[in-house]
Structure 1
Amino acid sequence: MLGNSIWIDAPYSTEVQNERWASRYRMLAEETNCRLKLMRCIAHEDVIRRRLKERGYKRDRGKLEDWTGFLKRESIRVPIPFGGIEIDTSNSLEESVESALSFLRE
């Protein structure tokens, strides 16, 4: 345990690219005198597609029917604001946790 409070937001990649989203979090960090850390957990395209199929939501049908178009609209890899890190979920759980904790300790 690092002994810090956290706030988690899980935005879509399009939100992360929006300057208003980034400004909001910069402002909140300044107002509360906290460090802002951004970690993105990323899955490979085939894993995302499989998970969408398995969950079976109606809202995912369009994504699955036009997978190439979906990936263009909702790019998986976009620039990470605030100097964050990307954690590849294809690595072991232990490796992912260690990467996250090392980053948070910086």
Structure 2
Amino acid sequence: MTVIEQPTLDGTVPAAAISKARRRVDDYDTWVAEVRPTFEEIAATGSPFLCWKVAKDNDLPDPPDRDHDWGRFAATLHREGLIRTDGFGLTRDKSAVRRWRGTAAARRAAA
């Protein structure tokens, strides 16, 4: 979404406002390189987390294919042994999503 500055009634153009729209990265590998360090830090704590909540709290960009890339990324971290399933949590619209927790290997790697 592009922000278009509109002049005020007195004819001046206001300073650029910070857009509430989330940014999106067009390349999957670039996106992974940007978000992975945050998820490695979260996994190292061993606390349960929801991917959407981590992304929202840390202002992470959206992936190229928002419907599939989050699951693909979480599956990669799971296969690598950094995270494990820890039940289910809810999204803002009350849909069920997986809750994850960092593994002992992730905590050792951070130490």
TM beyond 0.5: no
Higher RCO, 1 or 2 (CA under 8 Å, sep at least 6)?
A: 1
Q: TM-score, normalised by structure 1?
A: 0.27
Larger of the two Rg values belongs to structure:
2
Larger helix proportion of the pair: 1
Q: TM-score, normalised by structure 2?
A: 0.26
